[in-house]
């Protein structure tokens, strides 16, 4: 899998702890949640080229009996919409990442990839160009992925602690 060096997600101080708590509380089920923040376009020294910094500022852990965050997003649009509007209105934040955990491992499953493709094709503007963050519930390592131009890519996750 290609690693895209020009997209980076930064988790602000304390956010990784919140995410780990969400995962621990959901065990043995998979945890899911939504990350809100801002996206900054940072010009590189080459004219016309940019890095995209996804600055994660808020994490909403979803208590749900659904098997995946997409199942939640689709079947519980009202609750998703409420969390989304609160973040967007009170702090001018947008949805930047869909988070979930796996019992072990942090690579996207076949279902994850199908969901990424689904959102890329049919998603609302607000759910496009998401970074999918996945945490291994065992070692708590987190990785980021995007489905861009019909390709699954890995992006850098940096926790600012
Ligand atoms: Zn998954």
Q: d(Cα 100, Cα 135) in Å, to the nearest integer?
A: 7
Q: d(Cα 124, Cα 35) in Å, to the nearest integer?
A: 16
- What is the reported pTM? 0.87
- 10 Cα: distance to centroid of ligand 1 (angstroms): 21
- 114 Cα: distance to centroid of ligand 1 (angstroms): 10
Q: Can the peptide bond before residue 28 be classed as cis, meaning omega within 30 degrees of 0? A: yes
- 102 Cα: distance to centroid of ligand 1 (angstroms): 6
Contacts 24+ apart (CB under 8 A), 121-126: 126/84, 126/94, 126/95
Bridge partners (DSSP) of residue 10 are 55, 158
The SS3 of residue 117 is helix
- 147 Cα: distance to centroid of ligand 1 (angstroms): 14
Domains annotated on the chain, with CATH: 2-159 (3.40.140.10)
Selection from 2, 15, 59 nearest residue 33 by Cα? 59
- 5 Cα: distance to centroid of ligand 1 (angstroms): 23
- 109 Cα: distance to centroid of ligand 1 (angstroms): 5
- 66 Cα: distance to centroid of ligand 1 (angstroms): 12
- 84 Cα: distance to centroid of ligand 1 (angstroms): 22
- 158 Cα: distance to centroid of ligand 1 (angstroms): 20
pLDDT in tens, the chain (161 residues): 999 999 999 999 899 999 999 999 988 888 888 899 999 999 999 998 999 999 999 998 886 666 666 666 656 666 666 766 776 666 778 889 999 999 899 999 998 898 888 888 876 666 678 899 999 999 999 999 999 888 999 999 999 87
- 70 Cα: distance to centroid of ligand 1 (angstroms): 10
- 32 Cα: distance to centroid of ligand 1 (angstroms): 10
Do 75 and 40 form a contact (C-beta atoms < 8 A)? no
Selection from 151, 153, 146 nearest residue 129 by Cα? 146
């Amino acid at each position: 899998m290609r690693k895209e060096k020009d997209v980076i997600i930064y988790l602000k101080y304390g956010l990784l702890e919140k995410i780990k708590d969400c995962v621990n509380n959901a065990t043995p089920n998979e945890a899911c949640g939504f990350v809100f923040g801002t996206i900054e376009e940072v010009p590189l020294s080459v004219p016309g080229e940019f890095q995209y910094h996804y600055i994660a500022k808020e994490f909403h852990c979803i208590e749900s009996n659904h098997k995946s965050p997409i199942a939640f997003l689709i079947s519980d649009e009202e609750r998703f919409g409420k969390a989304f509007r609160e973040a967007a209105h009170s702090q001018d934040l947008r949805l930047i990442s869909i988070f979930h955990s796996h019992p072990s491992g942090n690579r996207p499953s076949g279902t994850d990839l199908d969901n990424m493709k689904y959102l890329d094709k049919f998603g609302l503007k607000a759910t496009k160009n998401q970074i999918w963050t996945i945490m291994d519930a065992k070692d708590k390592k987190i990785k980021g992925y995007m489905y861009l131009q019909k390709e699954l890519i890995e992006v850098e996750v940096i926790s600012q602690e």
